Amino acid sequence: MSHNNAKPYDNVLGLIGWTPLIRLNRVTRGIRTPVYGKADFFNPGGSVKDRIGMPIIEAAERAGKLKPGGTIVEGTSGNTGVGLAVAAALKGYKCIFTMPDKMSQEKVRLLKAFGAEVIITPTAVAYDHPDNYVMMAKRIAESTPNAILANQFYNQANPDAHYATTGPELWEQTDGKITHFVASAGTGGTLTGVGRYLKEKNPKIRIISGDPVGSILAELWRSKGENKQVGAPYKIEGVGQDKLPATLDLSLVDDYRTVSDRDSFAMARRLTRDEGLFVGGSSGLNTHVALQVAREVDDPEALVVTFLCDTGERYLSKLYNDEWMRENQLLEPDRVTLGDLLEHKGDGAPGAVVSAVPGQLVRQALGLMRLHNVSQLPVLEGNECIGSVTEYALTQRGLESSRFLDAVVSEVMDEPFPVIDASQHVESVQKLLSKATPAVIVRQDGAIAGIVTRSDMLAYLMNR
């Protein structure tokens, strides 16, 4: 097979595999062990799953189960659907895919773009429930004439494809110097096929897997299959399971690490921003583990390979959408700025700050606070905060002497609120807010953009 594009291809299938191995340079700062990413998102269908489409179809043809004009059915989180659809298009087969409803809209549209029929099933059902996407695919395959179930969770053509391609590619690309391979398992096809090949080449190569919090695979490995734990929901797509797939050989795995959605997504975003590798959440999970391992190994002679499974384009509405990340409390806390907090305060009038002017009377200032249901006001002169008043202090003194109500604000006001730039992180401001500093003024591009009070900060902390 050609390693580059010097010659023309007969069709797009010739472009599957021989994906580049790319060194990670910036996310690895401070780590001596070299870490490389096997960039399977370079496959023409954008994911590792292109590798298994044609082998599964050809195995069914050889077994006489699939004849011209036939239909390929599969329960898929999306990427296998694309891999199968690309191969099916060139072979003239129809595709029907079932997919859990947690999968991104991009993936549904993508499969439809390839001409497949897509049936959405509920995510929140047990693996043996009739509405489960795998069960549903099985029923459709049984009741459709000349149809096969691709059956990626049981079909040995899946790990075999990785044994035949991904494993040898890694061996050759690293000149046999690879010491650690890190990949999480969905079906386990990648981990099993690559693990088997590499261990045969050199039994010292360590195969390390990552698992999303909520998946049962890591615990199954730790307990050597004894675990009775049930799965819990998580947001990463394509990896982790609530049942052991027949395509995953846990005995090949030397270490299993559990990783949160938050850490996985944060790492995927860093791979995009810092390395220019636009990848999905499972690649983030793998890389999070790979960096842990590289740090622990701490050896410039070692060679850690992480697996970059699919393209980030599949997740533009999810992990690359700050809104979705915030709704799911997945944004790293230190990345939330005062500007973000203002935007989400929901006071309906962005930029409009309720304020007093120096010449106003105390009773007018108190009236303003009541009207707008706030406990303090900045005193503004043009674009400058020159002082502040609080309901507590004004009420206290108003009760002592009602003449105070007719005093002028500039004569009775307290210190101005601190003015902070909108780019400051919320955490740094949290400590500033106290009884003496009930609010801060937020400045953006030289102008006052809003105010963040103690109660705004508390609301943010409670929702986080």
Residues that bind ligand PLP (CB under 6 A): 48-49, 77, 79-80, 185-191, 237-239, 280, 282, 309-310
- CA dihedral over 400, 405, 406, 407, signed as positive or negative: positive
Find the Cα–Cα–Cα–Cα dihedral 234, 237, 243, 247, rounded to 10°. Answer: -160
Q: Of 237 and 261, which CB lies nearer to ligand PLP in the complex structure?
A: 237
Measured from the CB atom, is 148 or 194 closer to ligand PLP? 194
- Smallest distance from ligand PLP to CB 42, Å: 14
Tokens representing 89 are 């298009």
Shortest approach of ligand PLP to residue 161 CB, angstroms? 9
Give me the least distance between CB of 144 and ligand PLP, in Å please: 23
> Toward ligand PLP, which CB reaches closer, 80 or 258?
80
Q: Answer yes or no: 107 catalytic.
A: no
| AA identity, residue 224 | K
**Cα(315)–Cα(319) distance, rounded to whole angstroms?**
6
Separation in Å, CA 259 to CA 98, 184, 225: 27, 10, 20
| Closest distance to ligand PLP from the beta carbon of 282 (Å) | 3
The answer to whether the CB of 159 falls within 8 A of the CB of 199 is no
Which amino acid appears at position 284 of this protein?
A: G
Residues ≥6 apart with Cβ < 8 Å to 382: none
**Minimum distance, C-beta of residue 51 to ligand PLP, in the bound complex (Å):** 9
66: which DSSP letter?
-
Q: Are strands 304-308 and 180-182 parallel, antiparallel or unpaired?
A: parallel
Of 106 and 391, which CB lies nearer to ligand PLP in the complex structure?
Answer: 106
**Which is closer to ligand PLP, CB of 132 or CB of 282?**
282
Catalytic-role residue among 38, 49, 107, 318: 49
Our separate counts of H helices and E strands in the chain read 17, 15
Instruction: Give strand pairing partners of 381.
Output: 384
Q: How far apart are the C-alpha atoms of 274 and 284, rounded to whole Å?
A: 13
- Is the CB of 153 or the CB of 417 nearer to ligand PLP? 153
- Nearest position to ligand PLP, beta carbon: 238
- B/e letters for 190-226, b = 16+ CB within 10 Å, e = fewer, are bbbbbbbbbbeeeeebbbbbbbbbbbbbbbbbeeeee
**What's the min distance (Å) between Cβ of 6 and ligand PLP?**
30
Which residues contact residue 161 at a Cβ distance below 8 angstroms, ignoring those fewer than 6 apart? Answer: 51, 52, 55, 56, 189, 193
Closer CB to ligand PLP, residue 249 or residue 343?
A: 249
Least separation in angstroms between residue 353's CB and ligand PLP is 45
**Residue 231 half-sphere exposure toward CB, CA atoms < 13 A:** 21
Catalytic (active-site) positions:
49
